[in-house]
């Protein structure tokens, strides 16, 4: 109960500061009601485990020769990255789209043989990172301690529901926990124990009420600026 009261008090103060500084006193009550409504809706979404899309992109490659995943079945390694241009990273929760984004990924290890037959588990580690950049400025990062790979069924990803400890960070939305991410492989080209693939990407989060309030304020700021 104390934590809830503390959160409501902080939300009240943040809303008051924003309204007085940006729009004046007249719209203060209107904005506060809006934010509290958003918090209630997000609380209901949290209870029903509804997710919100954080970021996504379509496959930017033109053909299989422009792959950005390399799979070594023999040694059980997966490497990835993209720097050829044409990747449009959409961030629905902020309403922004970044063009010509690049990304890097730490090498991950999986049980050799398991991903060949179907579902495989990424070897646990303190942390792996996937990082997205625009003109060398980091836009977003995904941190996880384990994941899954299914090369035959064309996928790689992780989610907190399975203990993968996925956290997504970005300037547009802050720190999001209870998150998930997924790459859907396409254009797989295999030569014995080696394979390459292109992919589409999506990520999501089960939002906390405080996160929703922050996103709502961010949306109001963007609306005011536009």
Instruction: Let me know whether 110 and 123 are in one domain.
Output: yes
Q: How many domains does the chain have?
A: 2
Which is more confident, 52 or 153?
Answer: 52
Answer with the residue of higher pLDDT: 42 or 142.
142
H/E element, 61: none
> What's the confidence (pLDDT) of residue 141?
98
In terms of domains, do 171 and 70 share one? yes
Q: Residues 108, 147: contact at Cβ < 8 Å? A: yes
202, pLDDT greater than 70: yes
Residues 6+ apart with CB under 8 A from 27: 19
Q: Are residues 32 and 117 in the same domain?
A: no
**pTM value surpassing 0.85:** no
Mean pLDDT confidence for 77-101: 94
User: Is 148 in the same domain as 185?
Assistant: yes
Region of 137 (left: φ > 0; alpha: ψ -120 to 50; beta: rest) is: beta
Containing domain of residue 78, as a range? 52-205
The pLDDT of 131-139, averaged and rounded, is: 96
CB neighbour class for 121 (10 Å; exposed up to 12, middle 13-18, buried from 19) = middle
pLDDT higher for 111 or 67?
A: 67
In this structure, the answer to whether residues 185 and 215 fall within a common structural domain is no
Same domain, 152 and 198: yes
Shared domain for 143 and 70, answered yes or no, is: yes
Beta strands in 27-178 (DSSP E): 52-57, 69-72, 77-82, 89-91, 96-98, 102-105, 108-109, 120-121, 128-134, 137-144, 148-150, 155-159, 167-170, 174-176
One domain for residues 72 and 101: yes
Residue 175: exposed, middle, or buried by beta-carbon count in 10 A (0-12, 13-18, 19+)?
exposed
Beta bridge partners of 201: 57, 183
**Above 80 in pLDDT, residue 23?**
no
Is the pLDDT assigned to residue 165 strictly greater than 80? yes
Residues 134 and 32 in one domain: no
Instruction: Say if residues 167 and 142 touch (Cβ distance below 8 Å).
Output: yes
Residue 83 shares a structural domain with residue 180:
yes
43 and 117 share a domain? no
Asked if residue 136 and residue 198 are part of one domain, the reply reads yes
Nearest to 77 by CA among 189, 218, 196: 196
């Amino acid at each position: 109960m104390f934590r809830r009261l503390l959160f409501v008090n902080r939300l009240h103060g943040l809303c008051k500061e924003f309204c007085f500084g940006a729009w004046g006193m007249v719209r203060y009550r209107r904005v506060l009601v809006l934010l509290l409504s958003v918090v209630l809706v997000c609380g209901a979404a949290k209870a029903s485990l509804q997710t919100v899309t954080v970021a996504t992109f379509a496959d930017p490659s033109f053909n299989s020769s422009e792959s950005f995943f390399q799979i070594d079945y023999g040694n059980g390694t997966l490497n990835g990255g993209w720097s050829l241009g044409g990747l449009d990273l959409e961030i629905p929760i902020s309403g922004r789209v970044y063009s010509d984004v690049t990304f890097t990924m730490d090498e991950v290890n999986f049980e050799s043989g398991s991903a060949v037959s179907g579902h495989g588990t990424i070897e646990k580690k303190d942390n792996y990172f996937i990082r997205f950049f625009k003109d060398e400025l980091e836009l977003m990062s995904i941190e996880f301690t384990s994941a899954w790979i299914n090369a035959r069924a064309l996928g790689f990803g992780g989610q907190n529901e399975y203990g993968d400890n996925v956290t997504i960070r970005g300037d547009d939305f802050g720190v999001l926990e209870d998150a998930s991410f997924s790459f859907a492989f396409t254009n797989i080209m295999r030569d014995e124990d080696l394979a390459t693939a292109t992919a589409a990407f999506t990520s999501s989060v089960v939002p906390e009420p405080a996160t929703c309030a922050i996103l709502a304020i961010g949306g109001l700021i963007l609306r005011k600026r536009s």
